[in-house]
Amino acid sequence: MTDNWDNDFNCPYCGADLVRAAGNKHSDVLIIGEFPGDEEKQQGIPMVGRMGSVLRNELAFLGLDLMSFRRTNLWLHEPNKNKECFQMGVEAAMKEARGKKAILLMGSEAVAYFTGWKVSDVSGLKVVSDKLSAPTIMAMFNPAIVFHGTVGEIKFALRKFKEAMEEWK
Amino acid sequence: MKITVDDLSALEPKPNQFVAIDLEIFTNKGDDKHLHRPTTGRFACLSVCYDPDEVFIFTSELIVPSILEKLQDCVWVIQNSKFDLTHLRRWADVPPRKKLFDTMLIERILFNGLYDSFSLKAMARRRLGIALSKEEREAFEGAAELTPEMVEYAALDASVTLQIAKQQKKEMDKNDIYVWTEIDRPALWAFLDFQGFAIDVDKWNSLAERNKTRQLELDAQIPFNPRSPKQVVSWLSKHGFAKIENSQEKTLQKLINKFPNTDASKASQDVLDSRMYSKRASTYGAKFIEEYLEHDGGVPVIHTDYDVSRAETGRTACSNPPMQQIPVRDTHEFRECFVARPGHKLVVADYSAQEPRLSAYVSHDSKLIQWFNEDKDVYIELGKCIFGKTLTKKDPERQTMKSTVLGLTYGMSEYGLSEREGISKEEAAELIANVLAILPDMATYMEKQRRNKKMVATPFGRKQWLNPYSDQVERNALNSPIQGGAADMMKKALASIHQHWSFDCPFGVVGYIHDELVLDVPEELADDVAEFVKEQMEVVATDMVRGKIPFKADVSIGNTWAEK
C-alpha cells in the first residue's frame, strides 16, 4: 500500500488505472511484461488476460505455476507519451527485481529497455542488463504472438527459462 | 575460430563429409527484390567449413570452380541454397546433386508451423544459443571490398550453418528424409532451372492504360471520391445504406447483395470497380515492367522468385513478382499478356480434382474412392444422392456439391458455405450433414482430424505443427494435410519432369502458379512435351497414393497463358 489510497488505483501523473505487481512477493522469480491489457486493468492484476492464460498454460506444461511467480509490467497502465508514467513503471519493476534469482523479460519493449537487444535476437537466451541484477535474466517474445503467429518461440523460451532456473536451484 | 584466407591447398575435406558453403555477395541499395537473379550483386567471398572451429574464406570468384571441384564428393550444407546455388552458377558449372543439405528447408520440414522464422539468425539462437548479429550482413550492401569484420561474419555464418546441420541430421526421421530427398530437394533443382516467362510488354502497358481509363470513367460518374472512406460512408449513409459502418470491400459487397438494384448498391459497385481498376493500373502497370522486366535472347521475360516450401503447409510460394496474385477470376486479360516465345507454344498443366482425390485418399472414404476409380464425376454422383436427380456439369446443383466437398476439406464453416452459395446458414448446415451422411468415412476422418491440436501431416509425411491458440486450429488441422499433400504431389511431379527431361531444348518450365505448371517449348515439340508432362504427373501422383486412386492431369497447348 502507498501512503495515498488513490495512488494505489490511479496513476499520479495521468490518472489512468494502475496495475501493480502481483503474485508471491517472496518468489525467486520475477516476470516483467510490457503493459496491462483490458482484463488486467479490470482485475488490477498483471498477466491474467488472454496473454496471461497462454503463459499460464505453457508454464503448466513445464510443471511451473505462473501464480507462484512475482509478476509486473514495464508500464503500470497503458503506454502513453508521459515519461513520468513510464519511469514509474520502470522503477517499480526495478524495485521488484531486487534480490530475485531469475527475471524473465517478456516482449520487445521490456527486452529493449532493460538489455538494449531486439527481442527477436535474444528470445530464449540469457541476457545481461545494466539496470537489473540477477543470476538469470532471460528474454522472450510476448506470449500474445501466438494469436497471430506460431507457438514454438514461446515454448522454446519458457523451456530455456526452466533449464536456467534449474541451474541455480 | 581459425580463419584461413585464400589457401585452396589447405582445403582437404573427406568424401561424404558435411561441408558448409556460404556465399556472400556485394549488393546495391534496392537489390533486395532481385537477389534471386544471377544478374544481381558481385562476388564478395565464399566460406567453406567442415570443422566448426576452422573456416576457409576465398575472396576471388575465379577459383570457385576449383573450390567446388575439391568439395565434389562432400555433402554441401547451405542455408537457403537456392540463393547460393543461383549465384555459384555464375562462376562454375553446378549440376543437380544429391549431396545437398539445405538447413533452412530442412528446418521447415522439421518445424513448419511451429516457428515463424527459419533464418540462420533465428536457428542459431534456438539451436546454438547464439545471438547472431546481422549488422555485418548489411555492410555488404554498397561495399566493394571485404573488411576483417565482414570476413569474420562470413566465417561465423558458415560455422553456425554446419553446426545446425549436424543437429538436424540427428533429428530427421524417415518421413523427414523422404520429404527432403524425394520432394523438396529434387524440386529445388527444378526451380533453379526455370526459364523466364515471356511477356508481351505492349499489351501489358495498354492493358494498364485501359484499366486507368476505366477507373477515370467510373470516377467521373461517382459523386464522391471512391478512395476516401469518409466520403464513401457519408454519401452511402445518406442514400440508402443508413447503417453502413465502413467502406471496406466486404461491407459494401454484403450491402450490395442485401439491397440490389438501388442507387446505393449501384454506387457501391462503382466504388468497388473503381478501386479494382485503380489497383490493377498501378500494381500491374509500367512499374511492374520497370521493376521486373529482363531480356532473354532479346525476348522480354519475367523471372519470379520461388520458395520451395514457404507456406506453413509446405506449399511453394512465389514473389518478386507474386505471380499468383495476378488477377484471373474475373478476367483473362492479364494472363493473355504472358505468351510463348516466338516459334514456341505454352503447355499448361494441372491436376484434375486433385484435392477431392486426396481427401478420398486420406479419409479412405469408400464411396469417393469407388466413384474416382469408376471415373465418375463425384459432384454429379453426390448430387444424385442428395437431390434425387441426375445432374449435368452445367447444373448449379453440381457447383453447390463442388463447393461443399471442397469446403469440407478446407474446413469451411456452415457460415462460409452459406455465404459462398448464397443460401441460409441452416440450409448450408443441412447440406453439409447430408453430404457427410453419404460419405461416412470422410465424416469420421474429419472428426478425428479436428481433435488434433499439436501436429498433423500430409499423406506423404510432411509435418505441420498446429497452434492450439489459433482460432483457425481446427481448420488448419483439416486443411493442411490436403493443401500440403497437393503441394507435395505437384513438387514431386515437377521434380520428375525435371529429372526425366530429355527434349532437345532447355528445361521448359516458366511458371508454377496455383499448382499449375506452365512450360514454354518449341512449337514442334509441344505435343510431345504435353504428353510427357501429363504422363509424368499422372504416374507420380498415382504412385504416391499407391495406386488406390487414379489421378488425372489436364494439359493444354496455346499461345498465351489464358488459353487453358
Q: Cβ of B116 and A151 within 8 Å? A: no
Binned at pLDDT 50, 70 and 90, residue B419 comes out as confident
Average pLDDT over residues B46-50: 98
Which chain A residues are Cβ-neighbours of B125 within 8 angstroms?
Answer: 121-125
Q: State whether residue A67 sits within 8 Å of chain B by CB.
A: no
**Contact at CB, A152 and B122, closer than 8 angstroms:** no
* Interchain CB contact of A113 with B (< 8 Å): no
Angle at B130 between CA B126 and CA B132, to 5 degrees: 105
Average pLDDT for B241-258? 86
Which residues in B lie closer than 8 A to residue A151 (C-beta atoms)? Answer: 114, 467-469
* Residue A2 resides in a domain: no
Average pLDDT of the residues in B230-235: 90
> Which triple of cell numbers denotes residue B239?
442514400
Domain boundaries, chain B: 2-172, 201-288, 303-353+487-558, 366-438
Question: Nearest Cα to B517, choosing from B271, B219, B187?
Answer: B187
Cα of B418 to nearest chain A Cα, Å: 26
How many cross-chain Cβ pairs, A to B, lie less than 8 Å apart?
A: 43
Q: Is B387 on the interface with A (CB under 8 A)?
A: no
Q: Which of B528, B123, B80, B114 is nearest to B309 (CA)?
A: B80
Q: 10 Å Cβ neighbour count for A41? A: 17
Chain A residues closer than 8 Å to B480 by CB = none
Chain B residue with minimum CA distance to A125: B129
Of B116, B121, B131, which is closest to A149 when you measure between CB atoms? B116
| B308 to chain A, closest Cα gap in Å | 20
pLDDT at site A2: 46
Q: What is the pLDDT of residues B536-545, one digit of tens each?
A: 999 999 999 9
Q: Does A147 touch chain B (CB under 8 A)?
A: yes
Question: What residues of chain A lie within 8 A of the CB of B470, using their CB?
Answer: 146-147
Contacting residues of A for B114, CB less than 8 Å apart: 150-152
Residues of chain B in contact with residue A146, where contact means CB-CB under 8 angstroms, are 467, 469-470
ipTM of the complex: 0.93
Does B42 lie at the interface with A, CB-CB under 8 angstroms?
no
Cβ atoms of residues A70 and A24 within 8 Å? yes
> Residue B212: pLDDT above 90?
yes
B473 inside 8 A of chain A by CB:
no
Q: Is B125 on the interface with A (CB under 8 A)?
A: yes
Domain spanning B2-172: which CATH class is it, in words?
alpha beta
When pLDDT is averaged across residues A57-79 and rounded to a whole number, the result is 96
Least confident of A27-31, B300-304, B393-397: B393-397
pLDDT for B84: 97
- A149 contacts B467? CB cut-off 8 A: yes
Lowest mean pLDDT among B59-63, B140-144, B556-560: B140-144
A7 domain-assigned: no
Q: Which residue in chain A is spatially nearest to B132 when comparing CA positions?
A: A121
pLDDT digits (tens, 9 = 90+) for A3-41: 455 556 889 999 999 999 999 999 999 999 999 999 999
Chain A nearest CA to B128, separation (Å): 10
Q: What is the DSSP pairing of strand B305-307 with strand B299-302?
A: unpaired
Which of A50-64, B15-29, B404-418 is predicted least confidently? B404-418
Contacts of A111 (CB under 8 A, 6+ apart): A105, A117, A118, A119, A122, A123, A127, A139, A140
Spatial CB neighbours of B319, under 8 Å, sequence gap ≥ 6? B304, B305, B307
**Is A150 inside any structural domain?**
yes
Give the residue, B39 or B178, on which the prediction is more confident: B178
Domain containing A134: what range? 19-168
pLDDT confidence bin for B307, thresholds 50/70/90: very high
Hey, what CATH topology would domain B303-353+487-558 get?
Answer: Alpha-Beta Plaits (3.30.70)
* Interchain CB contact of A112 with B (< 8 Å): no
Residue A82, domain member (yes or no): yes
Q: Which of B51, B94, B89, B99 is nearest to B69 (CA)?
A: B94
B524 three-class SS: helix
∠ at Cα B178 (B466, B410), nearest 5°? 35
Nearest to B113 by CA among B313, B293, B290: B313
CB spacing of A123 vs B125 below 8 angstroms: yes
B121, A121: Cβ pair inside 8 Å? yes
Lowest mean pLDDT among B144-148, B208-212, B255-259: B255-259
pLDDT of residue A4: 53
CB contact under 8 A, B467 and A150: yes
Measured between beta carbons, which residues in chain B are less than 8 angstroms from residue A123? 125
Distance (Å, whole) CA B339 – CA B332? 13
* Inter-chain touch B470–A117, beta carbons under 8 Å: no
Residues 6 or more apart from B379 whose CB is under 8 A from it?
A: B391, B398, B399, B401, B402, B405
Average pLDDT, chain B: 94
> In the prediction, which pLDDT does A7 show?
58
Look at B465 and A156 and tell me if their CB atoms are within 8 Å. no
What is the least distance, in Å, from the CA of B456 to any CA of chain A?
A: 15
The total of structural domains in chain A comes to 1
Confidence (pTM)? 0.93
- Reply yes or no on whether the pLDDT at B431 is more than 60: yes
CB contact under 8 A, A147 and B470: yes
Decide if B111 touches A, using CB distance below 8 A: yes
Q: Is the pLDDT of residue B504 over 70?
A: yes
Record the cell numbers describing residue B453, joined without a space.
491440436
E-state strands within B85-231: 100-102, 197-198
Question: For residue B122, which residues of chain A lie inside 8 Å, CB to CB?
Answer: 120
> Domain containing A56 — which CATH number?
3.40.470.10
B115/A117 CB distance under 8 A: no
Selecting from B132, B133, B469 the residue whose C-beta is nearest the C-beta of A151 gives B469
- Do B469 and A124 make contact, defined as CB atoms within 8 angstroms? no
**Cβ proximity of B143 and B26 under 8 Å:** yes
B125 and A153 in contact by Cβ < 8 A?
Answer: no
